[in-house]
Structure 1
Amino acid sequence: MTPIIKVIIPAFNEQDSIGKVIGDIPKIVDEIIVISNNSTDKTAENAKKAGATVLFENRKGYGYACLKGMDYIAQKEKTPEIVVFLDGDYSDYPEQLTTLVNPILIDNLDFVVGARIKELRESGSMTPQQVFGNWLATFLMKLLFNAKFTDLGPFRAIKYKKLLALKMEDTTYGWTVEMQLKALKQQLTYREVPMKYRNRIGVSKVSGTIKGSILAGVKILGWIFKYSFK
């Protein structure tokens, strides 16, 4: 039986990239769900034109958009076996989705994170603060939880039932680290898969600004220390 795979793409003003992202997603995917997160451009229009289901979430925040996509899936008569999360800025290579989900399909793992390793990363695709933030967060997870993560990459796949069991709640910058921490706490089987990574189309709304970088860093560290005392 072919597993049902759904993709959730949070998108804030990604009109120039969203069509490319959708167009490169492999045909094994059952449905592509784009959440226009208070966009003021043609993100929604271009996503719909490219064949995606488009939802609207006016509360700004990466987590809000992801939760909106999850709520939509929960209402469906037939729920998926796997949910993939992917950014809408074309920095990831959507065609690598097959590689990303293979450890779930073949080895029956619960959770896979696409790791943006240095050897496969385009020059300048991650800012120095992103590189440092990833190193610090994953170092602390290794120290406190014996984790094997090296990245908080947003391109990730998880079994739908396991995703529901995580009871995700973060509404902004801490979504990725919350998922990884809860996966560790619930002893999900996981793996990182090396992924190519390139310069995004447009300017990052988080790492592209000092304020965004600081807020993201505070949120990520907050989640880690919150779980270290649980």
Structure 2
Amino acid sequence: MTTRTRTPSTPTRQADRVVEHGGNGGDAHLLVDDLTGRARPRRPVRTLVAMPAYNEEAYIAKTVLGAARHADAVLVVDDGSTDDTVPIAEALGAMVIRHTTNKGYGGALQTIFSAARDLGAEELVIIDARHDPAEIPRLLTELRKGNDVVLPAADPESGFGAYGKRAIEAVLAGGTFDAGVLVADPGLKVAGVRSGSPAAEPRYRGKRIAVVVPAYNEEELIGEVLDGIPDYVAKVYAVDDGSADMTGAIIDDYAHRDPRIVAIHHNPNRGVGAAITTGYLQAVEDGMDIAAVMAGDNQMDPAYLPDLLDPIIDGRADYTKGNRLINQAYRKGMPPWRSFGNSLLTFLTKVASGYWQMMDPQNGYTAVSIKTLRTLPLTEVYQGYGYCNHLLIWLNICGCRVSDVAIPARYGREKSKIRYSTYIPRVSKLLLGNFLFRLKTKYIQMGFHPLAFFYAAGAVLAPIGVLGGLIALWEKFVMGYPVLFVHGVLSFLVFMMGMQFLLFAMLFDMQVEKSERGVV
């Protein structure tokens, strides 16, 4: 049994604590009197406002207080937050159900509907912790006109809306929330509602999604990229990085025709990393929830964008990236030299970044939470084509969870601007320097771990062993000294000791990565 303890803060009214436990009958939720600690019957609830939450400490207070004005009870279903979302909600009098393990967005919705039925709620309003509570009366007004379901037109699949008793039972009978099933149910009366608030913006599962499109001399392809941006994307930051062709003019034309597209121009060219950084900073400033990157060369299929967004929304990752190397079928169409270069840089980036389960670090099809972007020193990240490699190192230093998503390569009329003969040596040098920086920052300055010294010992002893072996061979076959066995064995032992230090250092690094990802 897991019990949420109360925060020392004084609540505005007595709050219910929710104990979540599992048994043979599945999960059960008991309300516990905060003073006596004894289970007590639930109060009848006519109108319940509920919200799923994950690390929403910056927004939860305003939303809970606003929701309380329109409801008999406010319920927060916390999906494993690591910040102060739960104590803030409890202190403000909300009922809180906390998932001890992350169940994802669908699991949070299911918990909300189950709790609404258990509480006997006649009206259930589900909003996001970042939604404007002023939307609640509008939803309730529509529901009280005799409707069973009210779904916001901006995002009907998100679950946010208002539900009567029959709709609550229908969702639970179906096992999972599906707006399409509710709409198709002849026994339910379904209505839509529009508003002029930010909640009516395009959203994906209730989140405001931004897409950064860096482009340099992509006049032939940039239009196809912008045409393919999904409708649920709220903002598109198209960054012309000092193009010498018509790329900038095409972006401006699209921006005039589509209010979601924001045209940004660099002059002169500053590098793809700088273009992405500019888009990221604008997404942070505009209050987006997640920022994805889709290059202007049309290599990134927008059909796979949800695969990058879902792990972040479900709380399973802070940063997601495509992986074209997972199997031969996904590498189809990748030139052999590019495949070799990617494989080599994958290994080097694993060592440098500490993300040992990661592959295809050159894949620029990525998504990242805005909260994560706020913790990163974006202006210090390398601004050229090694940007994605360097960003992984900073993500590791900050303890962020990175997840690979299998996405096949897509090659067409684009021409790669990367020259691997110069790119690999340049990025390898960058990775070496930042590998040492990561060890110093993460394992010495921010927190001590002996693996830094294991790496150092291995880096010294292994080369000494190789050098000693070469000297032993020179002494034997050039100078004629009968010392090959003694000097050779000593050199081999020193070399093996160095390799053991390196392998133990890598093992410790892998264990740290697993602990940060929550893998036991």
Q: Confirm or deny a common fold (TM above 0.5).
A: yes
* Pairing 1:216–2:423 present: yes
For the 8 Å contact 1:173–1:219, the answer to whether it is kept is: no
* Pairing 1:13–2:217 present: yes
The letter for the 2-side match of 1:177 is N
Q: How does 1:77-226 map to 2 (within 5 A)?
A: 79-117=287-325, 118-123=328-333, 126-143=334-351, 145=354, 147-152=356-361, 153-168=363-378, 169-206=381-418, 212-226=419-433
TM normalised by structure 1 equals 0.87
Could you list the runs of 5+ residues in structure 1 that have no partner in the other structure?
207-211
Q: How does 1:31-70 map to 2 (within 5 A)?
A: 31-50=235-254, 51=258, 52-60=261-269, 61-70=271-280
Distance 1:97 1:63 in 2: 20
The letter for the 2-side match of 1:135 is S
Distance 2:303 2:377 in 1: 29
Structure 1 position 151, deviation (Å): 0.5
Structure 1 position 98, deviation (Å): 1.1
Question: Which deviates more from structure 2 when the two are superposed, residues 44-53 or residues 131-140?
Answer: 44-53
Secondary structure of the 2:329 match is: helix
Gap change, CA 1:74 and 1:221, over 3 Å in 2: same
Structure 1 position 40, deviation (Å): 2.0
Structure 1 position 63, deviation (Å): 1.3
Partner of 1:28: 232
Gap change, CA 1:216 and 1:56, over 3 Å in 2: same
Could you list the runs of 5+ residues in structure 2 that have no partner in the other structure?
1-127, 129-205, 438-520
Distance 2:313 2:285 in 1: 24
For the 8 Å contact 1:122–1:199, the answer to whether it is kept is: no
Give the number of aligned pairs: 221
CA RMSD of aligned residues (A): 2.0
Gap change, CA 1:213 and 1:45, over 3 Å in 2: same
Structure 1 position 180, deviation (Å): 1.3
Distance 1:72 1:163 in 2: 11
Structure 1 position 215, deviation (Å): 3.9
Structure 1 position 97, deviation (Å): 0.7
Residue deviations 1:101-141 (CA, integer Å, cap 9, x gap):
11111244101011113422442xx3334322221222123
For the 8 Å contact 1:92–1:196, the answer to whether it is kept is: no
Secondary structure of the 1:114 match is: strand
The letter for the 1-side match of 2:368 is I
Distance 1:201 1:47 in 2: 19
Distance 1:176 1:141 in 2: 10
Distance 1:228 1:71 in 2: 25
The letter for the 2-side match of 1:113 is K
* Identical-residue share of aligned pairs (%): 24
Distance 1:136 1:23 in 2: 34
Gap change, CA 1:41 and 1:86, over 3 Å in 2: same
Residue deviations 1:26-61 (CA, integer Å, cap 9, x gap):
222111111111112222232344432111012321
Ranked by relative contact order (alpha carbons within 8 Å, sequence separation 6 or more), the top structure is: 1
For the 8 Å contact 2:208–2:234, the answer to whether it is kept is: yes
Distance 1:161 1:47 in 2: 28
Distance 1:97 1:17 in 2: 19
For the 8 Å contact 2:284–2:370, the answer to whether it is kept is: no
Residue deviations 1:58-79 (CA, integer Å, cap 9, x gap):
2321112112223333443xx1
Secondary structure of the 2:304 match is: helix
The letter for the 2-side match of 1:88 is G
Distance 1:106 1:175 in 2: 26
For the 8 Å contact 2:351–2:435, the answer to whether it is kept is: no
Distance 2:398 2:336 in 1: 32
For the 8 Å contact 1:25–1:97, the answer to whether it is kept is: no
Gap change, CA 1:159 and 1:18, over 3 Å in 2: same
Distance 1:18 1:41 in 2: 12
For the 8 Å contact 2:393–2:435, the answer to whether it is kept is: no
Distance 2:429 2:208 in 1: 34
For the 8 Å contact 2:272–2:383, the answer to whether it is kept is: yes
Distance 1:146 1:80 in 2: 27
The letter for the 2-side match of 1:59 is P
For the 8 Å contact 1:10–1:37, the answer to whether it is kept is: yes
The letter for the 2-side match of 1:134 is N
